A and B are shown apart, each in its own frame.
Chain A
């Protein structure tokens, strides 16, 4: 690991002050800024050991838990502080009862040790598990070394994305929780040198396009302080289905976050997000539109799944993934419709 200066921020103001020097690197990607915030460390320390991330200053923001470490549930929705740990959100009674897709996306992720460490703010910013990105002996990685190419294209690509990819990057966004937030139309609270702003969660991450090293719309020095999930008649009838190579402690090869509001079996509202093969957290408005107003049947679920993957791009070994993704979504929708709430 390269040397860095460790700073502890007692509160949000101190953290933003420390992050201000990162803002000087305007135009640079958030993840490549010389100042990085440290919460659970499960991504940052890992990638610093691998020499993929090389901050000069690490600002410990765990002290912000006093300001941004709460879960609040009310008639308007759910507020999740960015310093809430994954394990605590997964076990929160109101989250489990009213937003099961969120609880499941968290408890099916990582291990209990990692869930005890990882913050919700850090979780959504976790970086791809693409081996070509994580292993610096691969020279070509546009995400790690802009302009160097993509070693994944044409290489073993079983773990790569098929939705949202570009000719410059096919890395998969690995998170689970982000799918739940995308499906439920959450918003993100952001604080930075320029003040406070709130953006839709769907706009937090960027498609790789020709700048895959710029992964989010966060500016250097900006900090996620929390998430708001609006209430809705669909949140209780929701679930997260995760398909993976082993039964526990594994990233998704396919996943679906779904929520349904049904009226005598007819879909009043559907919320769908996909994972395991997506370049960014992926809400499928196409699948939602295909379901709305139709009875929830195997046939309508299949039509929604076909719409969700109509734009899928495959390369080689990953040819099986759109079909796996479609079947995953169909199963999730049918299970969700059968839930007793």
Chain B
């Protein structure tokens, strides 16, 4: 199938099998390997990206089904050399060990704040529960989100 995917503000013209998931399109065909393949069954959250501004699981999304809608991956969070406040907070708080789940955690965390679900530790834990971390960095992830939330003024962000 011929299709055009808009990823991090850029159009990519691709010829893909109808079976290709958005995750495989990003990683294998566009070369953006930030989004991770954990379970590939919609259970771990490592593949979380933003679709039209909302967090979704790219492993359960067909590439063909997202044509015409903006996809943002972890590669689209920073502005040049300037890290997104959430990325900076994850580093400041050591909110990861192996780092494999981190791109999904970051995309989910940014969305969690924008949705208004980061007002308390309890809310963060509930609304981040779709992102598993086998290293168990959860307390530091919660701390990083608490710190980054007030810094996420709309002007600092890209759609």
Contact = CB atoms under 8 A, between A and B. Distances in A.
Contacts of A112: 55, 108, 111-112, 115, 117, 127, 130
A145 interface: no
Interface stretch (A41-49, A164-172, A333-341): A41-49
Interface residues of B, number: 30
Contacts of A46: 41-42, 60
B97 interface: no
A58 B126 CA distance: 33
Given A6-B64, A117-B56, A117-B61, A45 B21 contact: yes
B130 A249 contact: yes
Contact of A60 (B17, B19, B65, B108): B65
Given A3-B18, A49-B41, A42 B60 contact: yes
Chain B interface main SS type: mixed
B106 to A, nearest CB: 13
Nearest to B17: A3
A5 to B, nearest CB: 7
Given A4-B18, A112-B108, A114-B57, A49 B125 contact: no
A53 to B, nearest CB: 13
A41 B66 CA distance: 12
Interface string B25-62: 00000000000000011100100100000111100111
Interface of B: 1, 17-19, 21, 40-42, 45, 48, 54-57, 60-62, 64-65, 108, 111-112, 115, 117, 125-127, 129-131
Given A49-B40, A62-B65, A116 B21 contact: no
Interface string A1-28: 1011110100000000000000000000
A108 B99 CA distance: 28
Given A60-B64, A114-B57, A248-B129, 4 more contacts: A41-B62, A49-B41, A112-B115, A114-B130
23 contacts: A4-B19, A5-B18, A6-B64, A8-B65, A41-B61, A41-B65, A42-B42, A45-B21, A45-B61, A45-B62, A49-B40, A58-B18, A87-B54, A110-B130, A111-B131, A112-B55, A112-B117, A113-B55, A113-B57, A113-B130, A116-B56, A117-B60, A249-B130
